[in-house]
Amino acid sequence: MKTLAGALTVAVLLAGCSASDDEQPSHTDTRSAAPAATVCDRMQPGPATAPAGAVAVDPAVENDLITKTKESPPGTTFWLMPGTHRFRDERYDQVAPKDGNTYLGAPGAILDGRKVNEYAFTGQARDVAVRYLTVRGFVAPHDEGVVNHDSGDGWIIEHNTIEANSGAALMAGARQQIRGNCLRDNGQYGINAYKAGNTIKGLVIEGNEITGNNTDDWETRSPGCGCSGGVKFWSVNGADVRGNWIHGNHGPGLWADTNDNDFLIEDNLIEGNDSSAIIYEISYNAIIRNNTIRRNNWVEGRNRVARGDSFPVAAIYISESGGEPRVAARTDKIEISANTLQDNWSGITLWENADRFCNSPANTSSGSCTLLVPDQTRCAQPALASLPLVSDCRWKTQRTDIHDNRFELDASVVGCTTTCGRMAVLANFGTYPDWSPYKGQIIRDAVTFDQENTWHANTYIGPWTFMPHDTDRIVTAAQWQALPYRQDTGSTFRSN
């Protein structure tokens, strides 16, 4: 599939800073048009007649899909006839595919849960294909999904519209291919990629439109849950996310959270999400390149300003994540390169929480430890005070290489003065718990000076400032480039 970023032409319009941080943008931004590869409005239709050997499923017969799946051997192809297919009024009526089954929708084939059934496709079957269907109206619980509910391996999910469900549109398993789907207006996520044991490998998410998700507003219903947005990854060990249009989600666009590793995020258009375009949190080794990232984080940024919070939320937020050569991946760093970031609420923040480490009460990923020390009980005093545990028991923001990106900001478009134009590398002052070996300035100094976090050869247009070490320190481009920071060697800066 032709990638989106290379096909997009982004016009540049820069004006002066005239609006205050708590105002809405002073004019409507009309620079962007929908990408040529819009999926939701141009869905590829399925076969109009049943393929040879396929079992036809009749929408007029209640539970016909469930019945015929049970009666047929593994590897059967099912063709859902045009019309609305329904299950009985039983909460747990669902399709449990067998290994190698294929489900094809004819033009106009809809599988409707009617806000009664929780799941559409469940079970541990391998190598199942679901194509050309509209799946809607299912009521999966929080953190659960409608399609591939049990994260079966090797599933191929292509050219479907999965919309207006509770929970996630779909879950993910190892070797899963998610291509050309419209995943929109679901209650929590478009995709929830989680399976116990760090066993999801070879995940491909390509050419999808992922939009409008988190309609149930989970961050308001459960403050601090970290459970919203377009796609959420947890313990995924190898994923390619490319050529997607991820926009208008009520939360982040892409959120990798807790021991993810070996990600390639490229050629995506990520725009207009309420929070960050990309969050990479307590995870390892990623390549983020050739993406167009624009107008993200406006809602979260403005909310922070309104409550007097000076933390530099950003379009790309790297939180306790970094390159780690001891964890096998296609790279041994986090490389952020050749991206265009335009009119987001701030650029890139590298953050490390001094109080968050294995076995600390401040570790919000409760029970999780680093991939270097899987047993968190080892991360206790007195051993924690010495090498190797004092190093390996914490997730580090390290070995991050940020280069050849273009950062554009017209503050009048975003509707702010200074708080939306920041780059940051910083940590908090370590205080907690009382047995922590990371108290004081230790982590602030490490993340700013000692952990190989570098910006270089970037282009800046607009009123950018820089926040090294802590939130009380804001410096100019010249200070950012000078001692002691020595950042952005070879970069160019233009105010307007």
Q: What is the pTM of this model?
A: 0.92
Distance between CA atoms of 149 and 342, rounded to whole angstroms?
Answer: 36
Q: Let me know if 5 is exposed, middle or buried by CB neighbors in 10 A (0-12, 13-18, 19+).
A: buried
In sequence order, the 6+-apart residues with CB closer than 8 A to the CB of 232 are 168, 189, 191, 192, 193, 194, 255, 257
Residue at 85 is within a domain: no
pLDDT (tens digit per residue) in 89-118: 999 999 999 999 999 999 999 999 999 999
State pLDDT tens for residues 8-47: 333 333 333 333 444 444 333 333 444 545 899 999 999 9
Q: Is residue 339 part of a domain?
A: yes
Distance, CA of 189 to CA of 165 (rounded, Å): 10
**What would the two tokens of residue 255 be?**
């959120």
Domain assignment present for 329: yes
Instruction: Establish if 252 belongs to a structural domain.
Output: yes
Alpha-carbon distance values, 230 to 163, 167, 309 (Å): 12, 12, 25
Would you state the structure tokens that stand for residue 47, as one six-digit string? 């076969």
76 domain-assigned = no
DSSP annotation of 235 reads S
Full residue range of the structural domain in which residue 315 is found: 5-36+113-494
The answer to whether position 50 is within a domain reads no
Q: Does the residue 166 lie in any domain?
A: yes
Evaluate whether residue 277 is within a structural domain: yes
Residue type, 395: W
Burial class of 484 by CB neighbour count within 10 A (0 to 12, 13 to 18, 19+): exposed
| pLDDT (tens place) for every residue of the chain, 496 residues total | 333 333 333 333 333 333 344 444 433 333 344 454 589 999 999 999 999 999 999 999 999 999 999 999 999 999 999 999 999 999 999 999 999 999 999 999 999 999 999 999 999 999 999 999 999 999 999 999 999 999 999 999 999 999 999 999 999 999 999 999 999 999 999 999 998 877 899 999 999 999 999 999 988 888 888 889 999 999 999 999 999 999 999 999 999 999 999 999 999 999 999 999 999 999 999 999 999 999 999 999 999 999 999 999 999 999 999 999 999 999 999 999 999 999 999 999 999 999 999 999 999 887 899 999 989 999 999 999 999 999 999 999 999 999 999 999 999 999 987 789 999 999 999 999 999 999 999 999 999 999 999 999 999 999 999 999 999 999 999 999 999 999 999 999 998 7
SS3 478: helix
The residue count of the chain comes to: 496
Number of independent structural domains in the chain: 1
The domain that holds 288 is classified in CATH as 2.160.20
